[in-house]
Amino acid sequence: MVKRAYIVSGIVLVIVGVAAFGGIYALGGHGSGTTTSTSAGQIQVVAAENFWGSLVSQLGGSRVNVTSIVSDPNTDPHEYESNPANAIAVTNAQFVIVNGAGYDTWALDILSAENTPNQVVLNVQELLGQPIDANPHFWYSPYYVNMTVAAMYRDLVEIDPTAQAYFRQQYANLNASLWQSYMSYELYIKEHYSGVPVASTESIFVYMANATGLDIVSPAAFMNAVAEGNDPPAQSVAQFETLLQGGNSSVRVLIYNEQTVTPLTQSIKAEAAQYQIPTIGVTETIQPSSATFQAWMQGEIYNLINALDAQSLGE
Report the percentage of the chain scoring pLDDT > 70. 86
Please state the separation of Cα 260 from the chain's center in Å: 15
Give me the domain span that covers residue 242.
Answer: 194-284
Please give the sequence-ordered ranges of beta strands (E in DSSP) within the chain, or none if there are none. Answer: 2-4, 43-49, 64-70, 95-98, 120-123, 197-200, 215-216, 253-257, 279-282
Asked if the model's pLDDT at residue 171 lies above 90, the reply is yes
pLDDT in tens, 252-308: 999 999 988 999 999 999 999 999 999 999 999 999 999 999 999 999 999 999 999
Tell me the pLDDT band of 313, cut-offs 50, 70 and 90: low
Q: Which of the four pLDDT bands, split at 50, 70 and 90, describes residue 19?
A: low
Q: Are residues 118 and 39 in the same domain?
A: yes
Look at residues 185, 207, 222 and tell me which one is the last residue of a structural domain. Answer: 185
In a domain, 302, yes or no: no
Closest CA to 283 of 201, 169, 221: 201
| Under 8 Å between Cβ of 207 and 146 | no
pLDDT score recorded for residue 18: 43
Q: What is the mean pLDDT of residues 91-106?
A: 97
Can you give the pLDDT at residue 8? Answer: 31
Please tell me what DSSP assigns to residue 249: G
Proportion of the chain above pLDDT 90, given as a percent: 79
Quick one: 78 and 151 in the same domain? yes
In a shared domain, residues 103 and 212: no
Q: In this structure, what CATH number is given to the domain that contains residue 233?
A: 3.40.50.1980
Same-domain pairing of 176 and 201: no
Residue 170 lies in a domain: yes
Whole-model pTM?
Answer: 0.88
User: Is the CB of residue 51 less than 8 Å from the CB of residue 152?
Assistant: no
Helix (H) or strand (E) holding 169: helix 164-178
